Amino acid sequence: MRELLFLSHRVPYPPDKGEKIRAWHILKHLATSHDVHLGCLADDPADLAQLGELYKICASVGCFGISPALQKARALAYMRVGRPMTIDIFHSLALRNWVAETLSGRPIERIFAFSSAVAGYVSGQRRYARVLDMVDIDSEKWRAYAPFHRWPMRTLYRREADTLLAMERQLALDFDMTLFVSEAEAKRFSVLAPESRDRIGWVDNGVDLESFSPTQVFPCPFPRGVENIVFTGTMNYWPNVDAVNWFVDAILPLVRQKHPGVLFWIVGSTPSRAVLRHRQTPGVIVTGRIPDVRPFLAHADVAVAPLRIARGIQNKVLEAMAMARPVVATPEAFEGLRAVPGQDLLVANSPETMAQFIVEVLESEYPALGSAARLAVECNHSWSNTLRALDAVFDTTGSAAAQSPYPAPTILSTAAI
């Protein structure tokens, strides 16, 4: 099999949150047709205990620990005009040396860089077929953060957005193809980087339909006879923190006017102080880290995604829909999903509408919503379908590989914008 270098800014196992879910499924898929050499960074010592699973599917693994606090201090110290902090937050001399040794010591033909944060380790390496999966437009995320913060963070976020966008545009020109997590995200980047429009594509996110299935049986984690609203996510990630704060302050009181006994469960690891304070709020439960989110989804009366800042496709929404639960989401959380609002899930653009939808779900006004949600992800967001495009991705970039029987990832054209 051909040998491929796969770079990731985080250890792609376990697939328990955000980007790690996508990275893990892409890595597994590529490992069926390549001898994969994985290079990654570990910003949590617990990640180092997960390497055994990666050795099972990879020809070699180079994993190098970094300290988030030290990396952020480095980024501030090295801040220069036009230099995004992302470069230094994910800088590792050990990883750079490992990449150089792997490229010189192995017959690598192909390179897959997962996120712009690690693309710099292989920029300019034009002898290889190279694909960059930016996943989301990170610069847009930082730009969206700014209005929600005061000085100096507002200024810092705007600066990072500007400098990171310049880097993203340069990387898109350098790599053979740049992928995103959804058509909407790819189209947005093509507007920001029109010079690279002919080398921009997307591969939709999927969901593990066997693990997240309504046929799975789980013990109920909730008190008997209580209605339950569930939010899942990593709870020190600022968009998630903002989402639950907004829900508790602006939406939950409206729901409890009609259903005073309803409970709102904030399910996810490492809750921040802003989240932990809600343990004092009537009707709110903050779980902290749990071994498995599926029991909470399986027995939820309604799953919510009240995100005001979101990029790409939200795994939390896909997982709840896969388990046939009614989902109420904001337009930001819905973007990128191949689903029909009002049929497969409910999309609300105000606190009042979101509260109304939740109350209507609790009062059984949408009996078919859960089954429609499951069908939508089966048809449009199974990993087995979405990742078939990767079988042709390097052929599309001009490598000498034989023509794949599967379609290439969709590439934007002028007509698509």
The per-residue pLDDT for range 344-388, each reduced to its tens digit, is 999 999 999 999 999 999 999 999 999 999 999 999 999 988 998
Cα(50)–Cα(14) distance, integer angstroms: 7
Burial class (CB in 10 A: 0-12, 13-18, 19+), 339: buried
| 241 shares its domain with 173 | no
| 109 shares its domain with 245 | no
Question: Around 400, how many Cα atoms within 13 Å sit in the side-chain half-sphere?
Answer: 4
How would DSSP label each residue in 227-291? -EEEEES-TTSHHHHHHHHHIIIIIHHHHHHH-TT-EEEEE-SS--HHHHGGGGSTTEEEEES-S
Res 55: pLDDT: 96
Mean pLDDT, the chain, whole residue set: 92
| 389 shares its domain with 354 | no
Q: Please answer whether residues 289 and 269 qualify as being in contact, where contact means their C-beta atoms are separated by less than 8 angstroms.
A: yes
Q: Please answer whether residues 319 and 212 qualify as being in contact, where contact means their C-beta atoms are separated by less than 8 angstroms.
A: yes
The counts of H helices and E strands in the chain are 19, 14
Rg (Cα) of the chain, in Å, rounded? 22
SS3 39: strand
Q: Is residue 245 one of the residues assigned to a domain?
A: yes
| 121 shares its domain with 235 | no
The per-residue pLDDT for range 42-86, each reduced to its tens digit, is 998 888 888 999 999 999 999 999 998 999 898 888 888 888 999
pTM comes to 0.90
Characterize the bridge pairing of strands 263-267 and 129-135: unpaired
- Is 50 exceeded by the pLDDT of residue 407? no
Backbone angles phi, psi at 179, to 5 degrees: -105, 155
Q: Is residue 214 one of the residues assigned to a domain?
A: no
SS3 16: coil
| 14 shares its domain with 136 | yes
Res 415: pLDDT: 34
Q: Is residue 14 one of the residues assigned to a domain?
A: yes
Characterize the bridge pairing of strands 108-114 and 129-135: parallel
| 392 shares its domain with 369 | no
SS3 215: coil
**CATH number assigned to the domain comprising residue 315:** 3.40.50.2000
| 188 shares its domain with 41 | yes
Res 397: pLDDT: 67
Q: Please answer whether residues 327 and 356 qualify as being in contact, where contact means their C-beta atoms are separated by less than 8 angstroms.
A: no
| 199 shares its domain with 55 | yes
| Cα 23 → chain centroid | 9
SS3 410: strand
Task: For residue 146, give the DSSP letter.
Answer: G
| 129 shares its domain with 96 | yes
Both structure tokens of 145: 């953060």
The per-residue pLDDT for range 282-317, each reduced to its tens digit, is 999 999 999 999 999 999 999 999 999 998 899 999
**In terms of residue numbers, what domain contains 139?**
2-206+383-416
- How many domains does the structure of the chain reveal? 2
Both structure tokens of 322: 């896969």
Q: Is residue 218 one of the residues assigned to a domain?
A: no
| 66 shares its domain with 193 | yes
Measured over all CA atoms, what is the biggest interatomic distance in the chain, rounded to whole angstroms? 66
Q: CA nearest 300: which of 373, 370, 366?
A: 370
Rounded percentage of the chain residues whose pLDDT exceeds 70: 95
| 305 shares its domain with 398 | no
The per-residue pLDDT for range 99-146, each reduced to its tens digit, is 999 999 999 999 999 999 999 999 999 999 999 999 999 999 999 999
Q: Is residue 27 one of the residues assigned to a domain?
A: yes
